[in-house]
Amino acid sequence: MRIPRDVTGSELAHALRTLGYTVTRQTGSHLRLTTLEQGEHHITIPKHAPLRVGTIAAILSDVAQHFGTTRDEIVDRFFGKRY
């Protein structure tokens, strides 16, 4: 599945809430999200508009690895209806 080109940091953080991620802190223009599902996991998302495709891909790959799935499945879950 193709990674969308127009996702902001806030939109990605909102989408990650479905996997149990919550914003634990913000430093400048970066959000730190944490989930306790399937073990503790932290990610940092820049709160930029739009995010670069490589940044989105890296974040989603990290999330997919934590949950034992593929990046394509995560992309389809979050953005499948839009793209």
Fold entry, domain 9-78: Metal Transport, Frataxin; Chain A (3.30.920)
Q: State the pTM of this model.
A: 0.89
CA dihedral over 23, 27, 28, 29, signed as positive or negative: negative
Element of type H or E holding 67: helix 53-67
pLDDT tens track for 1-10:
688 889 999 9
Q: What is the dihedral of CA 12, 63, 34, 24, to 10 degrees?
A: -30
pLDDT tens track for 10-59:
999 999 999 999 999 999 999 999 999 999 999 999 999 999 999 999 99
pLDDT tens track for 65-75:
999 999 999 99
